[in-house]
Amino acid sequence: MKINEIKNVFAFCMGCLALLAGCAGFTEDVSGNVADHSDEANQIESQYALARVMQSGKVVRSSASDSIMLILEVNGGCVNQSGSIVYNPDFYYRDTSRYAYSFRGDTLLLTNHYVPDRYEVDQTEYDESFILVGGTSGKLDGVWFFTQCRYREEKIYCSNYGYDTYMKINGNKVEYRVADREDYDYMQTVFVWELFMFLGSHNSIQLETPFYYTDTKYEQEEYGISILEKTKKSMKFSYNGLTFDLNVDYAYYKDSLSVTLKSGDVTCVGKHREIVNVPPEMCNADDVDNFYEIDDTGLLKYQKQNDSEFETCIDGILGRSRE
């Protein structure tokens, strides 16, 4: 299963509302209105200042002041040019999204109309509104925090990602930043779900998935896994007569990750490295196998992980061979 498919299956949890840490910043009353929390604005601006820049671009506002167009731009980048990987300073790409916008108190709603592509099973079209807080009611300019919750056809859905997203609008400029959540429970994620599945049924493990929540209780019961100790970044569990110690050493979204799994005298280390904005000095054919095109844009990102090595090490602990 690809990472985008995993996100679609596991990222949303209905009815989470303000119970999820990622949905803090607003509450939903019985009338459906979102109550504002303007006292969080200063904190959100401080968190934005410490977050990592991911994308930037332009804002085009409608004359009717009811919609905006966000144009995220890439100026110069690593590309595959006639079979060679080179840095092209003249490369330009723009990703354009149009949103209707409205305010509920100090909450900003950005709404777009989603039309499924022809390959999707569900061909239902719908309106979806992202819920942002932190700015000033009636004013687009400012720092906004994505609450990880959204309205879809007037029903509310919440995600639980291991990172927070911020957007700053300043006149005709926009910038997105992300920050990793210090309180995130990495032991209830797609990565742990895949690890449990790997132990019991020999599937594959994707090391970039600890940032996406999912419940692992079914896999625990299915494969006889017992949780002995647990924190948000570590876990001791038993499986098939063996005891394992799992630890997330560090995790930075769209950057790097290191996890260790120990059993007895054997330690398996899984590492993932990702660079979306590849600098010129890294853009060369010496490492060609670790460059991947980003969503048919022509732009390349650097991505390297040792999934197979990690899986082989676990197989060695279990005393089984790869098929």
Would you give per-residue pLDDT tens digits along the chain (323 residues)? Answer: 333 333 333 333 323 333 233 333 343 433 344 444 556 788 999 999 999 999 999 999 998 889 999 999 999 999 998 888 999 999 999 999 999 999 998 899 999 988 888 888 888 888 999 999 999 999 999 999 999 999 998 899 999 999 999 999 999 999 999 999 999 999 999 999 999 999 999 899 999 999 999 999 999 999 999 999 999 999 999 999 999 999 999 999 999 999 999 999 999 999 999 999 999 999 987 788 899 999 989 999 999 999 999 999 999 999 987 65
Q: Do residues 128 and 207 share a domain?
A: no
Assigned domain for 9 exists: no
Structure tokens at 163: 């990172």
In single-letter form, the type of residue at position 171 comes to G
- Torsion angles phi and psi, residue 63, rounded to 5: -65, -25
Closest to 57 (Cα-Cα) out of 144, 170, 178, 180: 170
Which residues of the chain form beta strands (DSSP E)? 12-14, 27-28, 34-35, 52-61, 67-81, 84-104, 107-114, 126-133, 142-152, 155-159, 163-170, 173-180, 226-230, 234-239, 242-252, 256-263, 266-275, 291-293, 300-305
Count of the separate structural domains present in the chain: 2
Assigned domain for 2 exists: no
Assigned domain for 103 exists: yes
Q: Do residues 159 and 299 share a domain?
A: no
Q: Do residues 175 and 235 share a domain?
A: no
Assigned domain for 259 exists: yes
Q: Do residues 227 and 308 share a domain?
A: yes
Q: Do residues 200 and 293 share a domain?
A: yes
Identify the domain containing residue 101 by its residue range. 14-81+89-180
List CB contacts of 97: < 8 A, sequence separation 6 or more.
69, 70, 72, 112
Q: Do residues 113 and 21 share a domain?
A: yes
Q: Do residues 218 and 250 share a domain?
A: yes
Assigned domain for 1 exists: no
Q: Do residues 25 and 170 share a domain?
A: yes
Q: Do residues 237 and 176 share a domain?
A: no
Q: Do residues 175 and 198 share a domain?
A: no
Assigned domain for 4 exists: no
